[in-house]
Structure 1
């Protein structure tokens, strides 16, 4: 292809570097010594910010290195080995964490097929009354991703409905918030709104401008002790905690977390709008957050990936935007898609 590829690819929001404000915060945190394992002023400041954003002064905030560790430790705090977690079949804890939940908790996942990556009370209801008592695994947690792995978003009313169902059955609601900032931007709501009915959640940083780092937020006091020990056992208790906390402190200052997510969502919308005008390309759904799912001729996929990488996704492809994506990146990529699809069409017709 004779076109310049975009500077930032659409392979994942994990592919982006760190936001300059986050890097500056790391440099400042690197001066002098600090008490390890979270006994430092950066951790105290970041914990205070998260509690304030969630409107939860009593929440336990536990920083971790990454999303898998945060998810597994959080769920370990909520389940026993004879219990189960209900999640969508596309849920990250089920599909993309290499069985870490089952390996480390000894518990079971009950996955539910969905059309859009979202659970509903109606889909969950058949799993809530095990018929044979101790012979059956006992559902204990409903786990949702916000935003979902298919780029969809739970409304506040949908989250409340799932929480009400969980609590009516003595269960808990867990929220995987790796992209919670993008969901808040899409819904034009606060983090407090999103966490209002949740018992335990993870708060993502890596996909929204940090080098690494996530946070477990425990909103049920009876889970705090288990969560702290689970984090340690899963190798997620950082000795130099200040370098995770300082990143969160920067990300959560002056609404940077929200501005980053809003920008990523806008770039996905720009990409989707451009795709609608391209012959041979089908937009599978209007993007709600920072992911675009599309179908294009099979012959076009590999050449386009070689020019600018992205992931195949089922019968289509997935293109992700981030805080670092620019309008020029989107426009260059659209030009490359158009040229590649046209060449594929000519080849199929025997013109080339």
Structure 2
């Protein structure tokens, strides 16, 4: 049989890229709604292009994912195991499942992302009970943990098995290493494991001028959800197992949770670029610096009050609703607590000084009306 000649030739790996897509947005528009609004860091786009072309095995059997364990161990220690996933909710669901039984519960804050912003995924998908406690600054303490860490042998109550922290917190504050160590020791004494939601771990490490291990491996964290998207990646997060003795069947859990990427090389190569030469720190330091600049300017505007210490890349503030609504027409941002007139302004790796100064000028105008 004569082979059929393809009607469309395969694209040349060296040809200049073309596309039929058209730009649908104005790239000059800036905002302070979320660090997820930012585009992809140019160095990470270059990494994606580097990994493109040719064929590589799917589902994590590629060369880039094979090398990724070495990259993560350089930051988190020789026992660290890394499992790339699609997104932060997926990382949290997989990580928490790995640390719990079917009757397990997770102690966390009432502002935690797993409680307020994941559509119940840890409870509906992972089958967990979240036991929440209020905090003044988004941070747990051993005393606060004990409000929910009881009844371990009570068959009528979900068993507290994990303490879940967020670093930096949902309120923009940062745990110190001593605070995390105290929580980890407290949890471990009670037979509980420690999970850290590190969607913005890079921002906390940059703010505290510490290596990543100083806030995780060295202070007793067992499983980490490590963020990339909020620090310049196109997509992708990672579950990092810091104590392999506490988990089993991680590959199965990832697949069962619909977080196994077929073309995983494109997640892994971004993490390599992010972690290999300090790009993670440079992006986080810049975002933090822009938040500090924003906070300094906001503090000088009469009628606007900053709600929490600005320690990473978030600024929370209270201002009159009418002024916030007018300002939002010029720059996008979210309400945090509409009843209190509280909003959240986020800075990212690509926020510029001109962005901040322009926003402050608009804020002063709207507050002066």
Deviating above 4 A after TM superposition, structure 1's stretches of 4 or more consecutive aligned residues are none
Q: Which runs of 5+ in 2 are unaligned?
A: 1-26
Q: CA deviation at 1:107?
A: 1.9
TM-score w.r.t. the length of structure 2 is 0.89
Distance 2:146 2:320 in 1: 40
Which residue is 2:143 aligned to?
122
Q: Cα distance, 1:6 vs. partner? A: 7.6
Instruction: Please name the residue that 2:48 is paired with.
Output: 26
Residue aligning to 1:235: 258
Query: Quick one: which of 270, 282, 285 aligns to 2:308?
Result: 285
Counterpart of 2:39 (choices 17, 36, 54) is 17
User: Which of the two has greater helix per residue?
Assistant: 1
RMSD over equivalenced CA pairs, Å: 1.4
Contact 1:6–1:333 (Cα < 8 Å) also in 2: no
Contact 1:8 1:324 in 2 (8 A): no
Following superposition, the deviation at residue 7 of structure 1 comes to 4.1
C-alpha distance in 2 between matches for 1:292 and 1:238: 34
Superposition pairs for residues 306-345 of structure 1, below 5 Å? 306-314=329-337, 315=340, 316-343=342-369
Q: Is the counterpart of residue 66 in structure 1 residue 76 in structure 2?
A: no
Q: Deviations over 1:39-68 (max 9, x none)?
A: 11111222211111112x222200001000
- Give the aligned partner of residue 271 of structure 1: 294
Paired residue for 2:5? none
Q: C-alpha separation between the residues in 2 aligned to 1:7 and 1:259?
A: 23
Provide the aligned length of Structure 1 versus Structure 2: 338
Map 1:1-352; keep pairs closer than 5 Å.
7-55=29-77, 57-130=78-151, 133-195=154-216, 196=218, 197-314=220-337, 315=340, 316-343=342-369
Q: 2-side partners of 1:108 and 1:45: how far apart?
A: 36
Residue 143 of structure 1 aligns to a residue whose secondary structure is strand
| Cα shift at 1:253 | 2.3
- What is aligned with 1:348? none
* Structure ranking higher on relative contact order (CA contacts 8 Å, 6+ apart): 1
CA distance, structure 1, for counterparts of residue 153 and residue 308 of structure 2: 41
